[in-house]
Amino acid sequence: MMDWAVLTPLAPLLAAALVLLVAARWLGRDVDRAVPWLAGAALGSSLLLVLLLSSRRAEAFGGILVWDALAAGASGVVLAGALAAVLLLPAHAERRGLHSADFTLLLLLAAMGLVVMSCAREWLTAALALESASLCLYALAGYDARRASSAEAALKYFLPGAVATGLLLYGAACHYGATGSTRIGAGSLSGPLGTLAAGLLLAALAFKAGLVPFHSWVPDVYAGAPSPATAFLAASVKAAAFALMARFAMLSLPGLPAGTSLLVLAALATMTFANLAGLAQTGLKRLLAYSAVAHSGYLLVGLAGIRRQDPVGPLLFYLASYALLTVGAFAAASALEDPATGGLEISRMRGLGRRRPVMSLMLAACLLGLAGFPPTAGFVAKVMLFSAAWARGLEVLVVAAVLNSVVALAYYLKPILAMFLQPAPEGAEHVDPPCWTAASVLAFLGGAGGLLLGLFGDL
């Protein structure tokens, strides 16, 4: 039976996008000041609808789109990430002289695509949603085109992205060949063609989620894209990609003998490589980018061996807490970044703890949360995810993930060490950019919210 409930969260986004499209043409840059309010209201009401509908179960278009706990949770993270990007936008646009109406329009359209992707249960729908979101995302990454790093980010995101789309479509075709349907979970994937389909589809999603060995775009794009776009990429795109991957892993992979080992290998490679590479970083944004890749690896630990009837709660809790902490950390990084280059070298952060005590404390709290330090949300999320994996018999993978957390702790400590333990370098007079309210709010949400979520999130 057709149930329009699935589509209702999209309605405010579409309406706001249409208004923006028209208004921006007619009124030019005058609308810039009203844009964040409009987009914020649209995203907020959409988020509210998701919350209201979170316990609803529905299908639309003959089961092509589904609304379940996974779709609701991932959509919530997508929309919250978009909201964070909208919050960060005005100050960033002002500093860089960017036109915020177009940026917001692209953001809303991308968010719509990602929400559809979280609900998709059919590969062609998923491909369409992913592609419509990706086209906006390429533009968002390169939005600050006068800055070479932003243009570079767009290109580096576009090229692997185009390959990923090709893989996705080819994988969907193989899926059809193996099972006679493009529906996720229809028929069992088996035999060489099924394995090929699974491999291609997983590879395509691995590009989007930033999994090793398809991760090489992540650091450049995260560091080069405008900060609001980075926050959106890190939180929302990852949530949608993992929702689709989780659906695939739960519905199709249990029938495939190689499915679990594929995910286990990808998890091991992603965690280990990203954490070792993270050790070598000197810039905060690149460090956070490698941390984002490493967290994709931890999320895969939660996906490996998952079955249809397993609860998705641990995965969603992990996605939500990761998004909260990562957006908080990126918000702090964007507030502290060098206005000229958009970068933030860790060596420049020396002594920040004394100059900006609250912001530094919040950034430190976000980083400790990402490191999985108790009792933050990052810790609770890891316990939930890893204990579920342990219960599925993946003890060795959990031990590997835990060992990885030790390595990760070493690089998460680097910015904290610079901020609090090292004095500001003498001679070089540092002028810290003024802190933005929105960035402070987000950093505070990440730091303090992460702590509260860790203490009370499971109650």
Q: Using CB under 8 A as the criterion, which residues of the chain lie in contact with another protein when the complex forms?
A: 313-314, 368, 373-375, 379-380, 383-384, 386-387, 390-391, 395, 398-399, 402-403, 405-406, 409-410, 413, 417, 420-422, 455, 458-459
Please identify, using beta-carbon distances, which residue of 30 and 458 lies nearer to another protein.
Answer: 458
Please identify, using beta-carbon distances, which residue of 76 and 457 lies nearer to another protein.
Answer: 457
Tokens of 375: 């009792």
Nearest distance, CB of residue 388 and another protein, angstroms = 8
Question: For the purposes of burial, counting CB atoms within 10 Å of the CB of 313, is it exposed (0-12), middle (13-18) or buried (19 or more)?
Answer: middle
Please identify, using beta-carbon distances, which residue of 188 and 387 lies nearer to another protein.
Answer: 387
Nearest distance, CB of residue 274 and another protein, angstroms = 17
Nearest distance, CB of residue 353 and another protein, angstroms = 9
Please identify, using beta-carbon distances, which residue of 262 and 364 lies nearer to another protein.
Answer: 364
Please identify, using beta-carbon distances, which residue of 95 and 392 lies nearer to another protein.
Answer: 392
Please identify, using beta-carbon distances, which residue of 54 and 190 lies nearer to another protein.
Answer: 54
Please identify, using beta-carbon distances, which residue of 108 and 443 lies nearer to another protein.
Answer: 443
What is the distance between the alpha carbons of residues 310 and 316, in angstroms, rounded to a whole number?
A: 13
Nearest distance, CB of residue 193 and another protein, angstroms = 37
Tokens of 113: 């695509």
Nearest distance, CB of residue 83 and another protein, angstroms = 27
Nearest distance, CB of residue 458 and another protein, angstroms = 4
Please identify, using beta-carbon distances, which residue of 27 and 406 lies nearer to another protein.
Answer: 406
Please identify, using beta-carbon distances, which residue of 258 and 417 lies nearer to another protein.
Answer: 417
Nearest distance, CB of residue 351 and another protein, angstroms = 11
Is the separation of the CB atoms in 360 and 420 below 8 Å? yes
Nearest distance, CB of residue 383 and another protein, angstroms = 6
Nearest distance, CB of residue 130 and another protein, angstroms = 31
The gap from C-alpha 8 to its chain's centroid, in whole angstroms, comes to 23
Nearest distance, CB of residue 76 and another protein, angstroms = 18
Please identify, using beta-carbon distances, which residue of 245 and 384 lies nearer to another protein.
Answer: 384
